[in-house]
Amino acid sequence: GAVVSQHPSWVICKSGTSVKIECRSLDFQATTMFWYRQFPKQSLMLMATSNEGSKATYEQGVEKDKFLINHASLTLSTLTVTSAHPEDSSFYICSATAGLETQYFGPGTRLLVL
């Protein structure tokens, strides 16, 4: 099956700093990438949808100025959590699709903001 990677797998940062998470589709070109957040024992919550070369579409309640998404190529999307605070601590998962296929998920990035 298709492989999606994420980097880093975990990160600890101080409150107020910015953190960048990368999502790469390794063996296919992803026309669309998605960013999810998952709190413990909770469902995956879609944050935003991004298409290569265009602005991301954010879900209601997600601050686009806080969660910056860049989809620079068909194989790479980045999520930057700006001025992170403890309440941003979560498991961030990206997924990618080639258009008419189901989503393939990355392994996730665990963020802990102190």
Binding site for other proteins (CB under 8 A): 1, 4, 6, 32, 41-44, 46, 49, 57, 91, 93, 95, 97, 99-108, 110
For the record, the structure tokens of 76 come out as 């790479």
- Residue (12 or 15) nearer to other proteins, CB: 12
What is the closest distance, in whole angstroms, from the C-beta atom of residue 104 to other proteins in the complex? 7
In terms of phi and psi (left: phi > 0; alpha: psi -120 to 50; beta: otherwise), the region of 16 is: left
Residue with smaller CB distance to other proteins, 1 or 86: 1
CB of 3 to other proteins, least distance (A): 11
For other proteins, the closer of residues 5 and 82 by Cβ is 5
Structure tokens at 31: 């026309």
> What distance in Å separates the CA atoms of residue 31 and residue 50, rounded to the nearest whole number?
9
**Closest approach of other proteins to the CB of residue 12, in Å:** 15
**Nearest residue to 44 (alpha-carbon basis) of 36, 52, 34:** 36
The residue assigned the tokens 């992803």 is 30
